[in-house]
Amino acid sequence: MAHTSTVAADERLEMNSRPPRPGRGIGPAGVGFSSLWLRLAGLCTGTTAALDAILAIVAWVATGPAAAGSVAFAAVVVIAFFAISLLVGHFVGRRNPAGAIGMFAVVYLIKIVGFAAVLIWMGTPNWINPPWFGAAGIVTVVVWQAVELWGFSRVRLQIFNDPEEPGPGASPAPGATPRGGSHG
């Protein structure tokens, strides 16, 4: 026996939403919006920044202030690179959820070219400690991706609309057979 949902379509939570908190505005269908993308950006930024702060302290103690600065610089570059995508998801996803993936691809290309141009133009500062910079960059990318994956795994996004089921006593749709097929 299949389980059918009795919740009306206008009562379902929409993709980028969660129940309202006190003091927040109410969106369509009485749902207060709190963006999935901004929540993920905050979660990923907070987690990676905390880890990088610890790594910077370790670098300072082990090697000196240049190593700590290298860790901080790598963290800022990586966090900015990934946070831009989540901000694009927030702004584009609200207006056109289906277009968000295409926009991610465009923004990714722009970020690669833009960050490469800035880093090449800037050159390598004399104070950068390459091993600490590289290690911090790799650790920040891996942790950001792990936290983002964990965050997305906790979200239920409805991709397809639930099929409308006829109410009690309603006749089947035109052309439908008793087994759910259609006349050819």
Note the pLDDT tens digit of each residue in 95-108: 887 777 788 788 88
How is 110-153 classified by DSSP, letter by letter?
A: HHHHHHHHHHHHH---TT--HHHHHHHHHHHHHHHHHHHHHHHH
pTM over 0.85: no
Query: Bridge-partner residues for 176, per DSSP?
Result: 182
Outline where 63-99 has alpha helix (H). 65-95
| Residue 5 reports pLDDT greater than 50 | no
Q: How confident is the model at residue 171 (pLDDT cuts 50, 70, 90)?
A: low
Cα–Cα distance between 36 and 155 in angstroms, integer? 8
